[in-house]
Amino acid sequence: SQELEQSPQSLIVQEGKNLTINCTSSKTLYGLYWYKQKYGEGLIFLMMLQKGGEEKSHEKITAKLDEKKQQSSLHITASQPSHAGIYLCGADILRYNNNDMRFGAGTRLTVKP
Amino acid sequence: DSGVTQTPKHLITATGQRVTLRCSPRSGDLSVYWYQQSLDQGLQFLIQYYNGEERAKGNILERFSAQQFPDLHSELNLSSLELGDSALYFCASSGSAPNTDTQYFGPGTRLTVL
């Protein structure tokens, strides 16, 4: 089973609409990362959240970290076709003395003009 | 363009062979990360180096090894290749100001094992 669950798996929205993607961890989070990947291309780092309650924004994308729920949400306001792609969350899971990272399976976003 | 370069872009080889993937980080970045992305396993963190030293280790197989050289470029060595090693291998770098935590990803090397 995935240690990081993303929901929804895919999302189709009309241009201009707001949307939210969630990432929930089954383990304690020590850092949460959001990435975007265009189909067949490399990853773009969006932001990193480390503290509970932390909220960061990158253009029209805002992400929050809820440490108690072990969850992060990514919110896009007034979506545009340029927002289309696969959004991945990643998390630091400290294990013994070895840092490790896990990733969600991704959320595929389609924005219809 | 992220400033991170990876070579080669594509690599096709046979089972049992050994390959080396190369990554040049952004100027000023001291950390280099390696990731593997495949359809069945998704994105997996392999290993991180910081200024030549191994910093963190993820799901890296014993058949795989990496190193970071004094000029900060990094190489990922994959040996005794299996069909399941076919994947996209990404390198990322981080560390330079002002956003020291931001990871910049290279375009990836697509490895196909036949």
What confidence tens digit (pLDDT) does each residue in B17-43 have? 999 999 999 999 999 999 999 988 888
* pLDDT at res. B12: 97
Give the closest-approach CA distance of A6 to chain B in angstroms: 13
pLDDT at residue B74 above 60?
A: yes
Q: Is pLDDT larger for residue A99 or for residue A47?
A: A47
CB contact under 8 A, B56 and A100: yes
- What is the residue-averaged pLDDT of chain A? 88
Q: Rounded to 10 degrees, what is the CA torsion of B54, B26, A34, A50? A: 60
Taking only the tens place, the pLDDT of each residue in B52-61 is 999 888 889 9
* pLDDT at res. B39: 85
Confidence of residue A97 (pLDDT cuts 50, 70, 90): very low
Helix (H) or strand (E) holding A66, with range, is strand A61-66
| Residues of chain A found within 8 Å of residue B57, distances taken between Cβ atoms | 98, 100
* pLDDT at res. A2: 64
Q: Taking residues A40-68, report their average pLDDT.
A: 87
Contacts (Cβ under 8 Å, ≥6 apart) of B64: B46, B76, B77, B78, B79
Looking at chain B, the whole-number percentage of residues with pLDDT higher than 90 is: 76
**Beta bridge partner(s), residue B112:** B12
> Considering just the CA atoms, what is the radius of gyration of chain B in Å?
13
- In chain A, the residue whose alpha carbon lies closest to the alpha carbon of B4 is A42
Facing A105 at nearest CB: one of B42, B45, B57: B42
Facing B105 at nearest CB: one of A43, A98, A102: A43
Taking only the tens place, the pLDDT of each residue in A9-26 is 999 999 999 999 999 988
Looking at chain A, the whole-number percentage of residues with pLDDT higher than 70 is: 91
